Amino acid sequence: MGCLSSHTMERKLSLTKSDFVHKKHGSVRTSYEILDTLGDGGFGVVTRIRERKSGLVRAMKEVQKSKISDDQYHLILNEIEILIRLDHPNIMKIYEVLESPKSYQIVCEYLSGGELLDVLLRQKRFTEEKTAKYIYDILSGVYYCHNMNIVHNDLKLENLMLDSKDPDARVKIIDFGISQYLDKSGLTGQLGSVYYLAPEILTGNYNEKVDLWSIGVIMYYMLTGNLPFRCNTNEDLLEKSKTGKFDTTSRTWIVLSSECKDLISKFLNPNPKNRISAAEAMQHIWFDKALQLSSDSINTNFYTSIKKFQKLNPIATAILVYISTQMLTSQEETPIVSLFKSIDTDGNGKLSKQEIFDACKKFPLLTSEEIDEIFNTCDMDHSGFIDYSEFLAVSMTWNHILKREKIKMIFDFFDMGRDGKLTIPELRTNLIQFTDSQWVDFLKIIDTNKDGVISLEEFRNYLCRLVDE
């Protein structure tokens, strides 16, 4: 396949998704156009907004400071901190946080498919195949959270969104306001929505298995159109959940496959010690039978992208990571997500070196040293794993990025003064990791007419040169 450069091994730049989530003072209305209201609940109003320069559509939750208590304030900060930390294709992305004298404004990805609950209510119930796809998406995100020692604590259909209206839309987990970090002593406090509440929460001591109980309730609801425990009062519901004896008499339950029933029973085991874990659930035989898992593998296009990415200087690398984390649409990400999940054989939401070795078997001419360099190119934060955003950055289709309208969109995004010229201070607003000398060196390369600024043509020519090298 040819020898890979050792440039990556020498690169000292360390990048994570959180480097590109900015916290600013000011109003979202300076950079965004308010389109319409999506909902009014929780701690604030959620609106659909459009970034004025790029035209990208986002969602924004605005929380009025005067309307929240100290406890609610801490829940908002908790959600922001967790969303910034998480990096997974089945968890909602956060882009930036703004604070004005009167409010907090959290800018996240716009999930145009809406709540999964609304889709279910329209269709009444889902097939086993569709349910398997959705549950696998949810488990994938939850397993990743649990590996990060984060328990969601409020999984329910209202907190599951679809990223598009397409039939193969991905589920995205939202609302981490009451999520908690797990330690050896477990968790305390009665949290979450009563219909999805695991029975052990009533004892005041529990762990990550509460999320698996909630998934069991969600799965049962998807397949039957009803909640598993039929009761007249919340008190009766909580008492019945302690027994684990959910309704198995309905016709919609009876027609389910034995494998499907087995997984639900393992989710809704009232003893958390015996309840299935997220890792175990993802290996359940029901998914093999009900779900056609992707068999995508690393191909020549991916290898070519890696080689090109490997040659980039640190600032060019950061620009591409910024594009991948901030500017790709859900539809643009879809084929990359499929490849990522096919390589992620243990389903933990990160790619290990062994998983990359296994995926590269298609290229027998690659040496172990070359595969090592592929891994090190992708592992930009030097964590020992390849996170989703890292994989996304190196897997982007260059031909798509270099479309004229895409380059213009990227250029306009950085062009804060809207004068058709990029200055180093404008670039530094979004790329804060670099020294003055690095920016001087970068300007020498890209500013071909030496006027001290970067024109659209220079920006376009620079990106095109990166592909041709």
Q: Residues forming the annotated binding site for ATP?
A: 61
Task: Give the Cα separation of 91 and 390 in Å (integer).
Answer: 16
Q: Which residue out of 19, 137, 154, 211 is catalytically annotated?
A: 154
Does 441 qualify as catalytic in the annotation?
A: no
HSE toward the beta carbon, residue 68, CA cutoff 13 A: 20
- Find, among 386, 277, 394, the residue nearest to 341 by Cα: 386
Q: Which residues of 136-162 are buried (b: 16+ CB within 10 A; e: fewer)?
A: bbbbbbbbbbbbbebbbbbbbbbbbbb
User: Distance (Å, rounded) from C-alpha 50 to C-alpha 32?
Assistant: 5
Of 313, 312, 214, nearest to 264 by C-alpha is 214
Residue type, position 97, single letter: V
SS3 content of the chain, % helix, strand, coil (to 5): 50, 15, 35
Six-digit token string for 107: 């800018």
Give CA–CA dist 246/93, Å, rounded. Answer: 35
Q: How far apart, in whole angstroms, are the C-alpha atoms of residue 368 and residue 389?
A: 24
> What is the Cα–Cα distance from 367 to 372, expressed in whole angstroms?
9
**Exposure pattern of 16-36 as b/e (b: 16+ CB <10 Å)?**
bbbbbbeeeeebbeebbeeee
**33 pairs with which residues across the strands?**
50
Tell me the CA end-to-end span of the chain in Å, nearest whole number. 17
Question: By the 8 A CB rule, do 117 and 157 touch?
Answer: yes
Q: Residue 331 has which token pair?
A: 């539809």
Contact between 190 and 201 under an 8 Å Cβ cutoff? The reply is yes
Strand partners, 22: 96
- Is the Cβ–Cβ distance between 125 and 223 less than 8 Å? yes
Backbone angles phi, psi at 108, to 5 degrees: -130, 175
Helices (H), 268-299: 278-282, 285-290
For the annotated catalytic residues, the residue numbers are 154
